[in-house]
Structure 1
Amino acid sequence: MSRVVRIADDAYDCAIRYGSSLSEGIRVMDALIHELRLKGDTVFDQKAIERMIRSAVRDEIEAAVYRG
């Protein structure tokens, strides 16, 4: 299953550095974050990042629904 969402160009560029496609880049970033959690290496606030990602995704979904 796939979805069409709008993302900022800089976010796309960031994800593409990690994989050959946006989806692959996101998967790689998720795996890296998971790996850091397992090691206990935290140089950033994981919960804050998670909240930002969820908020961005929620905003895009809401925008798509209301444009519908």
Structure 2
Amino acid sequence: MKSRSSSALDHLNLVAKLADLKEDHYRTLLTLSAMTELLMDKGILTPDELERKIASLDSELDELIVGALRPMP
């Protein structure tokens, strides 16, 4: 019976950690969105510049992932 209650407690702890991560993720995205809007409102960044940078970083990340998945010679 102990392993069952231990398993349930482990599951509960995992769910609590996931909830904390979701809250942290939400706060990070909220902060990033606010900063982006402020930069655009102040004319420091345009939506086109942001989109180009996003595309560039996404492409770089894809290349890194593909390179990491290739077998070493």
Q: TM-score, normalised by structure 2?
A: 0.39
Q: TM-score, normalised by structure 1?
A: 0.42
Kindly indicate whether structure 1 or structure 2 has the higher relative contact order, using CA contacts under 8 Å at least 6 residues apart.
1
Larger radius of gyration: 2
